Copies of this chain bind each other. A is one copy, B any other.
């Protein structure tokens, strides 16, 4: 407990710009219960990739044991398509000439989380798409979505993670023509990207477009606006509608169209 407490004081004290002797330091002590939530699924042989992906995640042990020097050592190599598991879609994924993974300004990976819960509607209709009316309802309850927000769509699908057929709607290898899962709608995506000017969008399914999509309008709309996407998120049910801060840090791949990302949310209280 002491370690946790000290850490929060240090973290929040530093963000507040307070020295250890500042009289205002007491203010940060109210936030000792701040939590960090991991929004990331692990990468392993069960990690879900798009049905047409040439491969999944492959880990190759290079060494695992006691060396000639007498000490333990272990190291691996791995291969992965960029777009599988919990990952980033860079604008370059669907917009020629736009930012690659390594081009995206670092400030774009950090922002206040806005969590829109459509899990009840998605439970009724697995192909449900976020509508402008859903955004209006969210804003009526929680205030207008601010410029620079990171909008996370909670569909409830992460409870299906690990079950390919339940998660994607179909598990036929190489065939992406019979998928079913919820997503953003094109109008809602345009509203978020172009009017609210959000920093990123993300969700707990395999694609920002819903399963049946074959022309990926949401991907294209957000990429054209230099808004990145986050897919296959975990633990969104642990986030409040507003108030968390997301840090979504992807691998910095030169010429990357996306890639594995470690994504966390910091909840101040």
Question: Is the beta-carbon distance between A83 and B79 smaller than 8 angstroms?
Answer: no
Q: A10-B111, A252-B43 are in contact. Are A15 and B78 (CB under 8 A)?
A: no
Residues of A in contact (CB 8 Å), total 88
Question: Is the beta-carbon distance between B111 and A252 smaller than 8 angstroms?
Answer: no
Each complex incorporates copies of this chain amounting to 2
Question: Is the beta-carbon distance between B244 and A14 smaller than 8 angstroms?
Answer: yes
Question: Is the beta-carbon distance between A3 and B148 smaller than 8 angstroms?
Answer: yes
Q: Which residues of A contact B (CB under 8 A)?
A: 3-4, 6-7, 10-12, 14-17, 20, 30-31, 36-38, 40-44, 54-55, 59, 62, 69, 71-83, 86, 92-96, 102, 106-107, 109-112, 143, 146-149, 197, 199, 214-216, 220, 242-245, 247, 249-264, 266, 268-269
Question: What are 21 A-B contacts defined by CB distance under 8 Å?
Answer: A10-B146, A15-B16, A15-B268, A17-B30, A36-B106, A40-B252, A43-B256, A44-B253, A62-B81, A69-B214, A75-B81, A76-B253, A76-B256, A78-B82, A79-B80, A110-B264, A249-B261, A251-B260, A260-B260, A261-B262, A262-B262
